[in-house]
Amino acid sequence: MARLNVSFLSSPASLPDGWDGSPGHPLCAARPAVAPCQCRQAPLLAWFAWVFVFLTPLSLPAQQGGRQELVSAGKCARCHVSSALEWGLSKHSTLTRSKSGRLPNCTGCHGESRDHVIDEQNTAKPDRMAHGEAIAALCVECHRSGCPHTSDLKNCQSCHHIHALVNPTLDAATIEKRASDLAALMKAYQGHLAEGERLVQQAQWEPARIAFGAALKDYPASDRARAALAMIARRVKPGFGGFKIVGDKFDSQSGLPEEIVMDGSGIDLVLVPAGSVDLGSEQHAGSKPVHTVNIAPFYLARFEMTQAQWKALMSANPSFHQGAKFPQADAMPVEQVSWEDCQKMLAAINRKVPGGGFRLPNEAEWEYAARAGSADSNVSAKILSVAWLRENSRIAEVASVAKSEPDAGAARVSREAANAGMAQAFKEMQRVEAAKLTAPDSYAPHPVGALQPNAWGLYDMFGNVAEWCSSLYQPYPFDAADGRESAVAQGARVLRGDTYVDSAESADLALRHSDRPTRKLRWNGVRLAFSPPAVEPPAVPASDSPAAAKSQ
């Protein structure tokens, strides 16, 4: 058996728990509960796996620069990172179709496994889990004539690793040479990356661009180098026509300015950085199951859209709360707007911006921004310092009538009336109650931005008015690609965030709500989202690279 030069893996700290650096199969050895890997290409696998692991750190989320196989493995890679990497070593990962019509990817062999995917408790097994001879049976579904090397129909796994189907017939010398070449290439790649990052720190954009370009040339599949080049392109030429960039703070990952203001309108947009959010809550039936969604960077308006902003765009104000009774109406959020009204407004505002880009946030984006990095969706602790809810949204005129707490007062008089026959007192109380609680006119939204913002500087994400989202209301898990973001599909659209008539007791950012796209209620408003302008993708130099070796 060929012994590989793995000296570059010299730092024990860089090894996974459970692997002592011996030339075994690290991905099997890292799992002590599993029997030691007996596959023949184990040393080779050890090498290849760690080359790829080093080339692209696993900490990078798949959608924003992770390895291609992690992207291709989709949801499965969220938990089965090792298996996805192993599969990435095989030729299977590069196929777009197979002889049997079934793709040799996770779902192709294990089935759709929907229950398993959404099962946070990990009690539901995948639809299909082949063991022993059943593995060969699975292989034969495509490789009908058996193994191309031995014509064996029964023992595929004795030579081929179950996921990483590296060609076992390569001789040791070839493997050794490839390993040496790849090690050198990897060193160069890492050097270029480090150099690029150093130059970025010094804001030397052109030299940094050249360094990252060299890294991309070393390893054309490197999403990290690609993302760095995109970031530099943004820093050099932001491309925000129609906007003014506020301040000099830029997101280090994307290169996007952290705040922009639309020229003329004063619409202030805050960058919501890329990241992931555990969407939903186990507390509410409509918000189950909790699941992770990755979010690309986007802009979200710092404030809910005001009546003045709507009027400027649409030449009309549909809001219920306006007129002499509400002297600050212009600064209050626009309400009584339907989802369809919002689409018309978006068309109007996008005509004013080169390339458009204004839209409604989808519900995952909304919840991600509302949580602002907090894992807990329940915000009741300090809710009234950040949200206008029923408890602090009583209209002043009515509030002056009501000095006592209505619930306690009604209960007290009710008891007295029942026990001591104080009917007259109760009638009087009823009259007062009726006067101060004429629903729902007793409550009104407040001017935007009057309370504290959340951690990302967004005001009124919770309370005041509920905000229309672009998404159709469909059961979780959220998947933007499953049709729920269709602008033309029929169905209820999502509204997020509590309103000024909701109680603080039940405040929870994970609560989902919806309504017909044509319905206009006086507590439904809108907050603008904006997609940053795309940058030209960096050119990928064609050359031999580690990626080219993965199909071996």
Partner 1 sequence: MTRRRFMQCAGVGLAAAMLPRSRSSASPALTSGEFRRGGMVYRPLGKTGMNVSLLAFGSHTDRAYKERGGIRNVLNAEGQARRDRQVSLAMDLGVNLIDVYEHEGQWEPLARLLKPRRDKVMVAGAYDNPEFIGQNIDRLAKLYGGYIDLYRIRSETVTFDYKLLEQWDVLRRAKEAGKIRAIGIACHLEGPMMTALQELEGLDYLMLPYNFIHAKADYGQFLPAAAERNIGLIGMKALAAGSIVGLDPRVKSDTNPENTNFMLFNSAPGSRAILPAAVAELARNLKQLPDESLPQAAMRYVYSKQFLCANMVGMTDERFVQDNCAALTRYDQLTRDEHVALESARKLTRLAGAGWLPENYQWLEEQWRA
Q: How many Cα neighbours within 13 Å face the side chain of 284?
A: 17
User: What distance in Å separates the CA atoms of residue 188 and residue 539, rounded to the nearest whole number?
Assistant: 19
- Name which of 181 and 505 has its Cβ closer to partner 1: 505
- Tokens 């995952």 correspond to what residue? 364
* Piece in contact with partner 1 (CB under 8 A), picked from 206-214, 230-238, 297-305, 514-522: 514-522
User: Which residues are CB-neighbours of 333 under 8 A, at least 6 positions away?
Assistant: 303, 304, 305, 306, 307, 445, 448, 460, 464, 465, 525
Residue 217 CB, shortest distance to partner 1, in Å, is: 53
Interaxial angle between packed helices 307-314 and 339-350, expressed in degrees from 0 to 180 and rounded to the nearest 10:
70
Interacting residue with partner 1 among 119, 133, 282, 505 (CB under 8 A)? 505
User: In 160-267, which ranges are E strands?
Assistant: 243-245, 259-262
Residue 282 CB, shortest distance to partner 1, in Å, is: 12
**Do residues 295 and 367 make contact, with C-beta atoms less than 8 angstroms apart?**
no
**Do residues 369 and 272 make contact, with C-beta atoms less than 8 angstroms apart?**
yes
Interacting residue with partner 1 among 191, 207, 286, 356 (CB under 8 A)? 286
Q: Is 370 in the site for partner 1 (CB under 8 A)?
A: no
Residue 520 CB, shortest distance to partner 1, in Å, is: 8
Residue 4 CB, shortest distance to partner 1, in Å, is: 58
Residue 37 CB, shortest distance to partner 1, in Å, is: 49
Residue 415 CB, shortest distance to partner 1, in Å, is: 7
Residue 440 CB, shortest distance to partner 1, in Å, is: 5
Pairing label, strands 493-496, 268-272 = unpaired
Task: Centre a 10 Å sphere on the Cβ of residue 305 and count the other Cβ atoms it contains.
Answer: 24
- Name which of 121 and 424 has its Cβ closer to partner 1: 424
User: What distance in Å separates the CA atoms of residue 313 and residue 406, rounded to the nearest whole number?
Assistant: 42
Interacting residue with partner 1 among 9, 183, 521, 526 (CB under 8 A)? 521
Residue 331 CB, shortest distance to partner 1, in Å, is: 23
Interacting residue with partner 1 among 126, 178, 502, 530 (CB under 8 A)? 502
Residue 501 CB, shortest distance to partner 1, in Å, is: 5
Phi, psi of 228 (to 5 degrees): -65, -40
Terminal CA-CA length for the chain: 18
Structure tokens at 287: 């918000």
User: In 373-424, which ranges are E strands?
Assistant: none
Which x/- pattern over 308-347 shows residues binding partner 1 (rule: CB under 8 A)? ----------------------------------------
Q: Is 396 in the site for partner 1 (CB under 8 A)?
A: no
Q: What is the dihedral of CA 500, 504, 506, 510, to 10 degrees?
A: 70
- Tokens 């979010």 correspond to what residue? 295
Structure tokens at 335: 């309400």
- Name which of 78 and 519 has its Cβ closer to partner 1: 519
User: What distance in Å separates the CA atoms of residue 220 and residue 207, rounded to the nearest whole number?
Assistant: 19
**Do residues 247 and 269 make contact, with C-beta atoms less than 8 angstroms apart?**
no
- Name which of 86 and 498 has its Cβ closer to partner 1: 498
User: What distance in Å separates the CA atoms of residue 369 and residue 362, rounded to the nearest whole number?
Assistant: 11
Which x/- pattern over 401-430 shows residues binding partner 1 (rule: CB under 8 A)? -----xx--xx--xx-xx--x-xx-xx--x
Interacting residue with partner 1 among 438, 452, 486, 518 (CB under 8 A)? 438
Interacting residue with partner 1 among 82, 93, 514, 545 (CB under 8 A)? 514
* Binders of partner 1 in range 372-391 (CB under 8 A): 390
Interacting residue with partner 1 among 485, 515, 528, 533 (CB under 8 A)? 515
Structure tokens at 84: 């996805």
Q: Under the rule (CB under 8 A), what is the footprint of partner 1? A: 283-284, 286, 390, 406-407, 410-411, 414-415, 417-418, 421, 423-424, 426-427, 430, 433-434, 437-440, 442-443, 492, 498-499, 501-503, 505-506, 508, 511-516, 519-523
